[in-house]
Amino acid sequence: MKRKNVTYGSGIVERDEQIVKVVAYIVLSILSIFALAPFMILFSASISSEAAIAKYGYGFLPKEFSLDAWKYLWQAAKIIFRAYGVTIMVTAVGTVLSVLTMSMFAYGMIQKVRGLKVIMAMMVLTMLFNGGMVSSYYVWAGWMDIKNSIFALLFPNLFASAFSVILIMSYYRTSIPHELLEAARIDGAGEFEIYVKIILPLSLPILATIGLLQAIAYWNDWTNGMYYIDVRHSEMYSIQLLLNQMNQQIEFMANNPEFAAELGQLTIPQESVRMAMAFIGVLPLMIAFPFFQKYFAKGLTLGGVKG
């Protein structure tokens, strides 16, 4: 009799678990649709005519189909692809370098040596007070002299976040056994060897999480290009900076039709072009995010402080 009761009880538990899973999947599916809705509206607006947007507003389906915005952007396809190349290179190199520097710094911060409390206080201080743009510009453009070079797009975001370092430190302390590191030291392994062969492989979830955040920051960055890249060096424009410049030019010509007439642009699809440019800027991140999602969720969970 007891065995039957246990079996019956187990069946109820399994049925309840299935119901919870179904409800969770339904809720998450609805939330996913809500998350994708803005991008669907964005793309729909990019293939709508200006008259339809002005008359009907934005929607999931275009009222009047038009490719004028994409034809307008196709005229600058060479410049856009070049800006894509610059952004992809800066994002890839900058993300790898920033993750390595922050992870090495975090590994040093968990060691038992003197002076780390002072360094920790200085690091936390940067989360409370910002040096401002003037001091940053003086350091990068004056002292480091990286203006109008590819380093102007890399270095300012390289040591980006003390919070990211703290997350990595928390992961090291809670998810990597200290005994494993001590055993490696007893076997004669140096600190760099321990970092490369033990720390990095075991820290993949949190490093992928921080890497994704850094990649998004590098991809969406346009202020560094605006501060440190002159117009004469437009071949070094990132995609976000280029789209921002194009948006300003479109707005200027829309408000000054005499200049547009001289340039042969009598009618400019202003709103749809803006939507198309925004879609161009965000599309690669939408494609890349699913590949990092599992690491992103796992890294945030394991990197949290355990009670």
What the block records as the tokens of 209 is 């999480």
* Residue range(s) defining the domain that contains residue 24: 1-66
Residues 242-259, buried b or exposed e (16+ Cβ, 10 A)? bbbbbeeebeebbeeeee
Q: Which of 71, 33, 104 lies closest to 267 in space, CA to CA?
A: 71
Is residue 145 exposed (0-12), middle (13-18) or buried (19+ Cβ within 10 Å)?
Answer: exposed
pLDDT tens figures, 221-252: 888 888 888 878 878 888 888 888 877 777 66
**Mean pLDDT of the region 209-230:** 86
SS3 sequence of the chain: CHHHHHHHHHHHHHHHHHHHHHHHHHHHHHHHHHHHHHHHHHHHHHCECHHHHHHHCCCCCCCCECCHHHHHHHCCHHHHHHHHHHHHHHHHHHHHHHHHHHHHHHHHHCCCCCCHHHHHHHHHHHHHCCCHHHHHHHHHHHHCCCCCCCHHHHHHHCCCCHHHHHHHHHHHHHHCCHHHHHHHHHCCCCHHHHHHHHHHHHCHHHHHHHHHHHHHHHHHCCHHHHHHCCHHHHHHCCHHHHHHHHHHHHHHHHHCHHHHHHCCCCCCCHHHHHHHHHHHHHHHHHHHHHHHHHHHHHHHHHCCCCC
| 160 and 12 co-located in one domain | no
How many structural domains comprise the chain?
Answer: 2
pLDDT tens figures, 50-69: 788 877 778 888 888 888 88
Please give the residue that has the higher pLDDT: either 291 or 95. Answer: 95
CB contact at 8 A, 202 and 168: no
pLDDT tens figures, 253-279: 666 555 455 545 545 667 777 788 788
| 155 and 293 co-located in one domain | yes
| 12 and 131 co-located in one domain | no
**Mean pLDDT of the region 277-296:** 74
CB contact at 8 A, 233 and 125: no
Boundary residue ending a domain (38, 66, 94): 66
| 10 and 89 co-located in one domain | no
| 150 and 136 co-located in one domain | yes
- Name the residue type at position 8: Y
Is residue 191 exposed (0-12), middle (13-18) or buried (19+ Cβ within 10 Å)?
Answer: middle
Boundary residue ending a domain (32, 66, 100): 66
| 80 and 62 co-located in one domain | no
| Residue 264 counted as domain residue | yes
| 51 and 160 co-located in one domain | no
Q: Is the pLDDT of residue 153 over 80?
A: yes
| Residue 295 counted as domain residue | yes
Of the pLDDT bands very low, low, confident and very high (cuts 50, 70, 90), residue 98 is: very high
Whole-angstrom distance, CA of residue 247 vs CA of residue 241: 10
| Residue 222 counted as domain residue | yes
What the block records as the tokens of 141 is 């453009």
| 62 and 100 co-located in one domain | no
- Residue 90 is predicted with a pLDDT of 92
Please give the residue that has the higher pLDDT: either 257 or 155. Answer: 155
Boundary residue ending a domain (13, 36, 66): 66
* CATH number for the domain harbouring residue 95: 1.10.3720.10
| Residue 307 counted as domain residue | no
Of the pLDDT bands very low, low, confident and very high (cuts 50, 70, 90), residue 306 is: very low
| 21 and 108 co-located in one domain | no
**Mean pLDDT of the region 188-193:** 87
| 191 and 220 co-located in one domain | yes
| Residue 50 counted as domain residue | yes
Q: Is the pLDDT of residue 303 over 80?
A: no
- What CA dihedral angle connects 251, 254, 255 and 257, to 10 degrees? 140
| 77 and 61 co-located in one domain | no
| Residue 34 counted as domain residue | yes
| 50 and 156 co-located in one domain | no
